[in-house]
Structure 1
Amino acid sequence: MPHSVRRPSAGGSHRRSALGAALCLAAALIAPAPQALAADDFPSRPLRLIVPLSPGGNVDIVARLLAQGMSKELGQQVVVENRPGASSVVGTVAVAKAAPDGYTMLAIGNTFVSAAALIPNIGYDPLKDFVGLSNTVTIPMVLVVNPSVPASNVEELLAMLRQHPDKATNGTAGAGSTSHFAGELFASLAGIKILHVPYKGNAQALSDVMGGQITMMFDSLGSSAPGIKAGRLKALGVTTATRSPAFPDVPTIAESGLPRYEDVTFNGVVLPAGTPKPVVDRLYAALSKAMADPELQKSLRERGIDPNVSASPAQYTQYLKEQSAKYTQLVRSRRMTVE
């Protein structure tokens, strides 16, 4: 004879369901959300600020000053780590693949979006693989030559380049770099050709300009300033629409021989996509306070660099989208390719 099975009463089932629901609600109220935990505990260990370029350039200079200030604000050391190679691609890809926990940041310049517009299958998407934290500075670039070059202004340089087109060389920090695009714009407006000589970073290119191996270079005013002041570089013109307060005697390129020329570089910080918003906000607050320090601002302005923090991470992300569209259009119109 089969055994009978006793079914639970409807009332008992409802009581157990109500008890389970109450326990779940209590647990939800007691345990904070994962992102809240991340924000409350963050940071609990040192952070890395990756510079995808060689030491000594503008991005590196700004990153090191910023790291000092953020270390104080966060209560944890922010370590600057240089990972140069392939027009910033090596270091950039490394951060794209890093855990989106806020402990790995990337210091960027225009190359972050310009190289992606120029180089097919570069290995990262500046808009999908990253989220913007903030802009840090804007810097006028400057056209520099070796002091032995027989040109005292842009007009004389253009005459020399047209007379000896096969001997003109333009050193850059690499294909797709800020200096590369500045040179392309210069050559386009002037109607001339200049041999592009890419390096692994602007410091090496700048060294060869000072050594006389390269005719010219477009470099950030911040990293060229020491060489200009020491007489190892001759500054022919700044790339911005107005003269730089740091070098008021250096004319703009537009006023000294090439009308309509204007270009500017920016630096900023981005994070791997998926970084929790509370962590992004925490880092943005630390960056903003660090950049507001009077001593840091003084140090930057002495190098011809203007502090320029974004209104919010969202605003900087939108700015990067606009810059990406601009460079993509320039690459297409100029039919630029990787050399």
Structure 2
Amino acid sequence: MRIAVTGSIATDHLMNFPGSFGDQLIAEQLDRVSLSFLVDDLQIRRGGCAANIAFGMACLGLRPILVGAVGNDFADYRSWLERHGVDCDSVHVSETQHTARFLCTTDENHNQIASFYTGAMAEARLIELQPVADRVGGLDLVLVGPNDPDGMLRHTDECRHRGIPFAADISQQLARMADEQIRQLVDGAAYLFSNDYEKGLIEQKTGWSDAEVLSRVGVRVTTLGPKGAVIDREGEPSLHVGPAPERGKADPTGVGDAFRAGFLAGLSWGMSLERCAQIGNLTATHVLERVGGQEYELRQQEFMERFTEAYGADAAAEIAPHIRCYHP
């Protein structure tokens, strides 16, 4: 299954605030917030939603096709991704802009406040998907991840026009994009990814109820943080998939991307939706245990042992012929 992952490619600047954001907010003055947080540290990591997802898929043994826009400062990052098995031949390199920057502060409760500098990502709107499909012999699925808004709309429209199934993953761009644009991104998606907060925001901004959203997409996947994930399809009962136990919490940045990586890997192997979510949950747990979206390592024996502990021997036997964890 040939999967193209479109979206942001960025450098993450990650900081920790040793307190609670909520304690600093005055309920009666939320219309004029003026705050500065003294953070404990700064860590610079490779990131961007599309790059994180592609990295995770490659670490599970696939060769995902990364599609996005970067600056001419991308050489080292490209080498890292290619060394881990990501196809970067369809990444557009800007002649004038730097690669995007993600600046995120996390409090002691793992709440996050973040800003995103677009940089070269704005040129994602220039990328056409058909040449990508021609180069690899066709595309079976395109994930349209958070990216330049015009780029997201273009890729969604092109998928519809060319009959390529697409997965909608608006996430960070929900706050930026207009209601009608969000409706365009969601309508007709084979898969719709969001967390539980974004689920409500999608319904609020589209004006569609949960049932109406389900009537417009194939599968709706909602991550619930420490509670796992829920999978919904029109006319069928919800399927709740429990989390994979973690061995500690370091930083939540990139956890959702890793879930998507595992889920898409499962789809490419023809797994059931339950198994897809289970693989996603365990991959996400590995990210939670490290600082940064690409700092984890998936080891074959350990991954299978942890999967068996979380979901049982029968489930593990189903995925065992496919999982080929890779880390150079």
TM-score normalized by the length of structure 1: 0.27
Q: Which has the larger radius of gyration?
A: 1
